[in-house]
Amino acid sequence: MLDITDLKVELDAEAGIVRAIDGMRLAIERGETFALVGESGCGKSMTALALMRLLPDNGIVAGGDITLGQGRDAVDVLGLSESRMRSVRGGRIGMIFQEPATSLNPVMKVGRQIVEAIEAHTELRGEAARVKAIDWLRRVGIPEPERRIDEYPFRMSGGQKQRVMIAIALAAAPDFLVADEPTTALDVTIQAQILDLLKQLQSEQRMGMLLITHDLAVVAGMAHRVALMYAGQIIEVAPAAEFFAAPRHPYAQALLRALPAGDRRGLPLEAIKGTVPPLWQRFDGCRFAPRCAKAMPHCASTLPELAAIGAAHTVRCLLYAPDAPAAAEAAAAEPVAAVVRPVVDRSAPPLLDVQGLRVRFPIRSGLLQRTKRHFDAVDGVSFQVRPGETLALVGESGCGKTTTGKAIVQLLRGAADIEGRALLDGRNLFELHGPELLAARRQVQIIFQDPFASLNPRMRVFDLLEEGLASLNTELDAGARRERIERLTDQVGLRRDALDRYPHEFSGGQRQRIAIARALAVQPRLIVCDEPTSALDVSVQAQILNLLRDLQRELGVSYLFITHNIGVVEYIADRIAVMRAGRIEEQGDCDDVLSRPQQEYTKTLLAAVPRLVPA
């Protein structure tokens, strides 16, 4: 179905020529799901953009071939004119983009955007195309599709926007699908529904799929084969079952040890040291060697080639070269030392006490946009967060989790009617104004779900991080602010040269790290974490989770952790509150809720979680 041969993609950047993809070779069969995994900045999304011929203005395909289909249906993707490529893009090849908030047209209703794809690539027109669009919204799990089809993207949650993107990509029934993090913003029940839908379409249409994701549990349940990418190169390819049972490359082994789970609580996750090297430099040896626990002296000076170690298993590592010393395989990473999990004092007064929180949004219509009725996004929610405690707020997309977090940090004033109380050290946040509210903002910070939308595109990273310090930590001079910012970049896994760059120059995961650093800059006592690891790959997620746990142990900071990743919940949460339709269905200690759920909704939610079962 798809054959990529010696693909090379280069970007003209200020630092020099960035070799984003360096000699990629892939062959994907009809009806096969081929997963491409690896850290942010390794070239996964750039592979998808090259395949769709959607490279940025400073990017070019410097070499190689991309062939779609076989025999008479085969097309040379790189050789097509742009007019012919438009019929292929969206017609024969569909794509689900990583960031739905920036991929959907904000001034077009979602239904019109789906209809546009249907009319461009099928014979349906007018009302028939609209009926088809409504059907696709229903199939991807959008509630009330007959009504929601006429809404704009900003009226939908992050997960709902992602589902609209999936509907657009699948509406024309493509032969091949490029899915770039298709379930990142989705809760587990909708994720299971979408993955089942993709499997169904594959069986009906024998659709090939390139699945780009950092969720290894999804890969284990979906993919037939897996390719691991690092620094612009593929370093291991294997059947999915073999990859998870016996990964060979040291990078692959470290990734699997970095996965959060309940049995890792109290222990640090294996966060791979350092970051992906800049791709404008020249490589004389293995690109992973500076971060590898099994590196040998000659790894820094010898370029490894892909070596076959089985019928369908190849790996790019000198440990498996024909002349590799037999003892090299015995080299192993140092064992991870146990860390005692801090014990939360349940008798201490709560840091945050939310009582009967209700958030109502006005629904306006007509020429004068008069308020006709109200929508209760949060309906009588109550919970407490104690000092040094992590409360996980879980539930399906659109149930009110993010609205709860935004209401607490005072980001909905004037946009919604808020009732109830949110007591921070006994003071109601909803009644604070002026200097008192400014002081409270220093105590409570938020990490947003969408890093691209929350970072000012006109400000460099240093200015983004300094802005909060300058306004909330006025006692710090310029030198102290710079010292704290540089220390933060090290903590969240960014290079110092990132401080002089703009948000658009980073991958999605790197932008999330910037957003986390900004929230941590003022050293708050409570952080509302709205999906803080959803855009991160496994190794960086481990690094961030370790960082959040270390800060909690050292500073006693509390977290209201909004997430749909149950593995993260098992690892980091002390207590869990399960939300549904604006209300809390069940809450209690983490172990009790996960092992002995009482509500049927909680049982359904946990049953939908994809699991990576080790061999």
CATH number at residue 584: 3.40.50.300
Answer whether residue 190 is part of any domain.
yes
Question: Tokens in use for 302?
Answer: 């010898």
The identity of residue 153, as a single letter, is P
pLDDT at 403 over 70: yes
Answer whether residue 241 is part of any domain.
no
Q: Are residue 214 and residue 263 in the same domain, yes or no?
A: no
Higher pLDDT, 405 or 194: 405
- How many percent of the chain have pLDDT more than 90? 47
Ordered alpha helix ranges (H), 258-317: none
Please check whether residue 34 is in contact with residue 224, taking contact to mean a CB–CB distance below 8 angstroms: yes
Burial class (CB in 10 A: 0-12, 13-18, 19+), 365: exposed
Tens digits of residue pLDDT in 243-275:
998 999 999 998 888 888 777 777 788 878 777
Q: Are residue 434 and residue 576 in the same domain, yes or no?
A: yes
Grade residue 338 by pLDDT with cuts at 50, 70 and 90: very low
Grade residue 278 by pLDDT with cuts at 50, 70 and 90: confident
Q: Cα–Cα distances in Å, from 325 out to 273, 316, 331?
A: 26, 16, 11
Question: Tokens in use for 522?
Answer: 């003022």
pLDDT at 152 over 90: yes
Q: Are residue 418 and residue 556 in the same domain, yes or no?
A: yes
- Domain range enclosing 376: 352-607
pLDDT score for 546: 85
Q: In whole angstroms, what is the distance from residue 421 CA to residue 415 CA?
A: 17
Q: In whole angstroms, what is the distance from residue 80 CA to residue 524 CA?
A: 54
Mapping DSSP to helix (H, G, I), strand (E, B) and coil, where does residue 286 land? coil
Q: Are residue 508 and residue 385 in the same domain, yes or no?
A: yes
Q: Are residue 318 and residue 368 in the same domain, yes or no?
A: no
Grade residue 9 by pLDDT with cuts at 50, 70 and 90: very high
pLDDT score for 554: 80
Q: Are residue 323 and residue 369 in the same domain, yes or no?
A: no
Question: Tokens in use for 413?
Answer: 């004033």
Q: In whole angstroms, what is the distance from residue 555 CA to residue 544 CA?
A: 16
Answer whether residue 113 is part of any domain.
no
Q: In whole angstroms, what is the distance from residue 210 CA to residue 231 CA?
A: 19
pLDDT at 532 over 90: no
Please check whether residue 80 is in contact with residue 86, taking contact to mean a CB–CB distance below 8 angstroms: no
Q: In whole angstroms, what is the distance from residue 357 CA to residue 596 CA?
A: 27
Q: Are residue 298 and residue 433 in the same domain, yes or no?
A: no
Mapping DSSP to helix (H, G, I), strand (E, B) and coil, where does residue 462 land? helix
Grade residue 185 by pLDDT with cuts at 50, 70 and 90: low
Q: Are residue 440 and residue 537 in the same domain, yes or no?
A: yes
What is the mean predicted confidence (pLDDT) over 408-414? 90
The identity of residue 450, as a single letter, is D
pLDDT score for 457: 92
pLDDT score for 454: 86
Answer whether residue 138 is part of any domain.
no
pLDDT score for 444: 93
Answer whether residue 135 is part of any domain.
no
Higher pLDDT, 156 or 612: 156
> Could you say which of 330, 362, 383 is where a domain stops?
330
**CB 327: neighbour CB atoms within 10 A?**
8
Mapping DSSP to helix (H, G, I), strand (E, B) and coil, where does residue 326 land? helix
Q: In whole angstroms, what is the distance from residue 537 CA to residue 259 CA?
A: 10
Higher pLDDT, 369 or 379: 379
Which of 101-110, 196-205, 501-510 has the highest mean predicted lDDT (pLDDT)? 101-110
Please check whether residue 306 is in contact with residue 314, taking contact to mean a CB–CB distance below 8 angstroms: yes
How are beta strands 208-212 and 444-447 bridged, if at all?
Answer: unpaired
Order the strands of the 526-530 sheet from edge to edge: 444-447, 526-530, 558-562, 390-395, 575-580, 583-589
Answer whether residue 384 is part of any domain.
yes
Mean pLDDT for all residues in the chain: 87
Whether this prediction's pTM lies above 0.85 is answered by no
pLDDT score for 72: 83
Q: Are residue 404 and residue 544 in the same domain, yes or no?
A: yes
Q: Are residue 217 and residue 268 in the same domain, yes or no?
A: no
> Could you say which of 223, 241, 268 is where a domain stops?
223
Question: Tokens in use for 592?
Answer: 């009790």
Altogether, the residues listed in the chain come to a count of 615
pLDDT score for 39: 80
pLDDT at 325 over 60: no
Number of domains in the chain: 3
Helix %, strand %, coil % of the chain (to 5): 40, 25, 35
Q: Are residue 179 and residue 294 in the same domain, yes or no?
A: no
pLDDT score for 341: 54
What is the mean predicted confidence (pLDDT) over 412-427? 90
For residue 376, give the nearest of 356, 396, 392, 362 by alpha carbon.
Answer: 362
Answer whether residue 513 is part of any domain.
yes
pLDDT at 576 over 70: yes
Tens digits of residue pLDDT in 473-513:
888 889 999 999 998 888 777 888 899 999 988 876 788 88
Q: In whole angstroms, what is the distance from residue 346 CA to residue 130 CA?
A: 55
Cα 252 versus chain centre, distance: 19
Grade residue 216 by pLDDT with cuts at 50, 70 and 90: confident
Q: In whole angstroms, what is the distance from residue 269 CA to residue 336 CA?
A: 8
Answer whether residue 189 is part of any domain.
yes
Question: Tokens in use for 267?
Answer: 């222990």
For residue 228, give the nearest of 218, 237, 219 by alpha carbon.
Answer: 237
Burial class (CB in 10 A: 0-12, 13-18, 19+), 72: exposed
Grade residue 28 by pLDDT with cuts at 50, 70 and 90: very high
450 Cβ contact partners less than 8 Å away, ≥ 6 residues apart:
99, 101, 158
Q: Cα–Cα distances in Å, from 143 out to 163, 500, 581?
A: 11, 43, 12
Grade residue 326 by pLDDT with cuts at 50, 70 and 90: very low
DSSP character at residue 140: T
Q: Are residue 275 and residue 366 in the same domain, yes or no?
A: no
* Per-residue buried b or exposed e for 499-537, using 16+ beta carbons within 10 Å of the residue's own CB: bebebeebbbbbbbbbbbbbbbbbebbbbbbbbbbbbbb
pLDDT score for 335: 43
Mapping DSSP to helix (H, G, I), strand (E, B) and coil, where does residue 193 land? helix
The identity of residue 81, as a single letter, is S
- The secondary structure of 44-90 as a DSSP string is HHHHHHHHHT---TTEEEEEEEEEESSGGG-EEGGGS-HHHHHHHBT
pLDDT score for 321: 80
Grade residue 615 by pLDDT with cuts at 50, 70 and 90: very low
pLDDT score for 157: 78
Mapping DSSP to helix (H, G, I), strand (E, B) and coil, where does residue 488 land? helix
